[in-house]
Amino acid sequence: MTLHATHIAKPATVSAVMLKVLAAMLPGIALSVHFNGIGVLVQLLLASVTALLAEAAMLRLRGVPVTPFLKDLSAIVTAWLLALAMPPLGAWWLIVVATLFAIVVAKQLYGGLGNNPFNPAMVGFAVAIISFPAQMAAWGSPLAPLDAAAQLQWIFSHTLPAGSALDAVSSATPLDLLKTGLLQGGRDVSQLLAGDRFGQLGNAGGEWIALGWLAGGLWLWQQKLIPWQTPLATLAGVVAMSGALWLAAPAHYASPLFHLFNGATLLAAMFIVTDPVSGSTTPRGRLIFGGLVGVLTVLIRVFGGFPDAVAFAVLIMNIAVPFIDQYTQPTVFGHKGGRRA
Amino acid sequence: MSRLYDFHGGIHPPENKQQSSATPIRQLPLPPLLHIALGQSVGNAALPCVQPGQRVLKGQCIAEADGRLSSAVHAPTSGNIIAIGEHAFAHPSGLPAATITLQPDGLEQWQPRQNLPHWRDASGSELRDFLQQMGIVGLGGAVFPTHLKLAARELQTLVVNGAECEPYISCDDRLMQERAADIVAGIGIAAHALRAGEVLIGIEDNKPQAIAAMQAACHGTPFRVVAIPTKYPSGSAKQLIRVLTGKEIPHGVRATELGVQCLNVGTLYAIARAVLHGEPLLSRIVTLTGAVADAANVEALIGTPLDWLLAQAGHTTAAEVIMGGPMMGFTVPDLAAGLSKAGNCLIVKSPAEFPPRPAAMPCIRCGECATACPMELQPMDLFWFAKARNFGKAQEWHLFDCIECGACSYVCPSQIPLVDYYRFAKSEIWAAERDKKAADLARRRHDFRQFRIEREKSEKAERLAARAAEQAAKLAASQAATTTVSSAQDDPKKAIIAAAMARAAEQQESKPLPDSHTQALDDAKQAAIKAAMERAAARKAAAQQSSDDSSNAAANPAGSTGIDNAKQAAIQAAMERAAARKAAAQQSSDDSGNNAAANPVSATGIDDTKQAAIQAAMERAAARKAAAQQSNDASGNNAAANPVSATGIDDAKQAAIKAAMERAAARKAAAQQDQQDPT
Is A119 near chain B, with CB under 8 Å? no
Min Cα separation A197/chain B (Å) = 39
Of B145-149, B183-187, B357-361, B626-630, the least confident: B626-630
Residues A314 and A289: beta-carbon distance below 8 Å: no
Residue A135 in any domain: the answer is yes
- Angle, to 10 degrees, between the axis of helix A74-85 and the axis of helix A92-100? 140
Of A256-270, B120-134, B644-658, the least confident: B644-658
Residues A196 and A275 in one domain: yes
Beta strand segments in B162-197, E: none
Q: Which residues from B are below 8 Å from A114, CB to CB? A: 361-365, 414
- Which of B251, B358, B411 is closest, CB to CB, to A334? B251
Q: What is the rounded CA–CA span in Å between residue B669 and residue B679?
A: 16
DSSP B216-257: HHTTTSS-EEEEE---BTTTSHHHHHHHHH-----TT--GGG
Mean pLDDT over B314-322 rounds to: 83
Residue A8 in any domain: the answer is no
Sorting pLDDT into bands at 50, 70 and 90, what band is B647? very low
Cβ–Cβ below 8 Å for A281 and B362:
no
Nearest residue to B599 via CA among B581, B577, B621, B578: B621
Task: Give the nearest chain A residue to B374 (CA atoms).
Answer: A333
Q: What is the rounded CA–CA span in Å between residue A193 and residue A198?
A: 6
Beta strand B55-56 with B34-37 is unpaired
Residue A7 in any domain: the answer is no
Nearest residue to A139 via CA among A99, A93, A86: A86
Q: Which of B5, B248, B396 to probe by mutation at the A interface, max A CB count within 10 Å?
A: B248
**Taking the CA of residue A170 as centre, how many other CA atoms within 13 Å lie in the half-sphere pointing to its CB?**
14
Sheet harboring B61-64: ordered strands across? B47-48, B61-64, B73-74
Rg of chain A over all Cα atoms, to the nearest angstrom: 21
Cβ–Cβ below 8 Å for A334 and B401:
yes
Specify the higher pLDDT residue, B86 or A252. Answer: B86
Residues A158 and A246 in one domain: no
Beta strand B345-348 with B283-290 is parallel
Specify the higher pLDDT residue, B26 or B501. Answer: B26
**B442 CB-near residues (< 8 Å, 6+ apart):** none
Cβ–Cβ below 8 Å for B357 and A9:
yes
Task: Give the nearest chain A residue to B360 (CA atoms).
Answer: A13
Domain limits for position A190: 172-324
Helix (H) or strand (E) holding B73: strand B73-74
Residues B578 and B613: beta-carbon distance below 8 Å: yes
Strand partners, A322: none
Q: What is the pLDDT of residue B592?
A: 40
- Angle, to 10 degrees, between the axis of helix B651-676 and the axis of helix B565-589? 0
Instruction: Spell out the per-residue pLDDT of chain A, length 341, in tens.
Output: 345 668 999 888 999 999 999 999 999 999 999 988 899 999 999 999 999 999 999 999 999 999 989 999 999 999 999 999 999 989 999 999 999 999 999 999 999 999 999 999 999 999 999 999 888 888 877 767 778 888 888 888 888 877 776 666 766 777 877 777 777 777 777 777 777 677 766 677 788 899 999 999 999 999 999 999 999 999 999 999 999 999 998 888 888 988 998 888 999 999 999 999 999 999 999 999 999 999 999 999 999 888 778 999 999 999 999 999 999 999 999 887 654 43
Mean pLDDT over B82-90 rounds to: 94
Q: What is the rounded CA–CA span in Å between residue A135 and residue A147?
A: 20
Residue A180 in any domain: the answer is yes
Q: Which residues in chain A (45-84) have CB-CB distances under 8 A to chain B?
A: 68-69, 72, 74
Is A336 near chain B, with CB under 8 Å? yes
Nearest residue to A178 via CA among A154, A206, A146: A206
Q: What is the pLDDT of residue B357?
A: 86
Cβ–Cβ below 8 Å for B410 and A277:
no
- Angle, to 10 degrees, between the axis of helix A120-131 and the axis of helix A92-100? 130
List C-alpha distances in Å: A166 to A1, A41, A144, B295, B311. 65, 21, 12, 76, 82
Q: What is the pLDDT of residue A195?
A: 72
Cβ–Cβ below 8 Å for A332 and B409:
no
Residue A226 in any domain: the answer is yes
Query: Which amino acid does the sequence have at A71?
Result: K
Q: What is the rounded CA–CA span in Å between residue A269 and residue B136?
A: 58
Residues A255 and A300 in one domain: yes
Helix (H) or strand (E) holding B117: none
Residues B77 and B301: beta-carbon distance below 8 Å: yes
Residues A108 and A196 in one domain: no
Q: What is the pLDDT of residue A18?
A: 95
Residues A25 and A87 in one domain: yes
Task: Give the nearest chain A residue to B406 (CA atoms).
Answer: A6
Of B170-174, B370-374, B660-664, the least confident: B660-664
Nearest residue to A93 via CA among A35, A158, A34, A144: A158
Q: What is the pLDDT of residue A341?
A: 36
State CA B666 to chain mean position distance: 49
Cβ–Cβ below 8 Å for A6 and B328:
yes
Three-state DSSP class for residue A179: helix
Residues A176 and A155 in one domain: no
pLDDT tens digit sequence for B89-115: 999 888 999 999 999 999 999 999 999
Q: Which residues from B are below 8 Å from A117, CB to CB? A: none
Cβ–Cβ below 8 Å for A329 and B401:
no
Is A328 near chain B, with CB under 8 Å? no
**Residue spans of alpha helices (H) in chain A:** 14-36, 39-62, 66-71, 74-85, 92-100, 120-131, 148-157, 174-184, 189-192, 206-222, 229-248, 256-261, 265-267, 283-303, 310-327
**A273 CB-near residues (< 8 Å, 6+ apart):** A230, A231, A234, A279, A289, A290, A293, A314, A317
Residues A25 and A131 in one domain: yes
Residue A57 in any domain: the answer is yes
Q: How many CB pairs under 8 A join A and B?
A: 149
Residue A337 in any domain: the answer is no
Mean pLDDT of chain B: 82
Is A321 near chain B, with CB under 8 Å? no
Residue B460 has pLDDT above 80, yes or no: yes
Residues A189 and A89 in one domain: no
Q: What is the pLDDT of residue B441?
A: 94
- The residue ranges of every structural domain in chain B are 18-348, 433-632+644-676
Residues B124 and B70: beta-carbon distance below 8 Å: no
Residues A147 and A247 in one domain: no
Q: Where a domain ends, among A121, A139, A171?
A: A171
**B361 CB-near residues (< 8 Å, 6+ apart):** A13, A14, A68, A69, A72, A113, A114, B413, B414, B415, B416
Residues A219 and A273 in one domain: yes
Q: What is the rounded CA–CA span in Å between residue B214 and residue B179?
A: 9
**B548 CB-near residues (< 8 Å, 6+ apart):** none
- Which of A68, A279, A336 is closest, CB to CB, to B248? A336
Sorting pLDDT into bands at 50, 70 and 90, what band is B284? very high
Residues A292 and A207 in one domain: yes
Q: What is the rounded CA–CA span in Å between residue B183 and residue B217?
A: 9
B616 burial level (CB within 10 Å; 0-12, 13-18, 19+): buried
**B241 CB-near residues (< 8 Å, 6+ apart):** B159, B247, B248, B249, B255, B260, B262
Domain count, chain A: 2
Residues A235 and A112 in one domain: no
CATH number of the domain at B18-348, out of 3.40.462.20, 3.40.1350.10, 3.40.50.11540, 3.90.800.10? Answer: 3.40.50.11540
Mean pLDDT over B177-196 rounds to: 94
Task: Give the nearest chain A residue to B322 (CA atoms).
Answer: A7
Cβ–Cβ below 8 Å for A227 and B367:
yes
Cβ–Cβ below 8 Å for B248 and A334:
yes
Beta strand segments in B94-142, E: 97-104
**Taking the CA of residue B483 as centre, how many other CA atoms within 13 Å lie in the half-sphere pointing to its CB?**
6
Is A10 near chain B, with CB under 8 Å? yes
Its ipTM equals 0.88
Residue A341 in any domain: the answer is no
Of A202-216, B544-558, B560-574, the least confident: B544-558
List C-alpha distances in Å: A256 to A29, A98, A240, A245. 24, 30, 8, 9
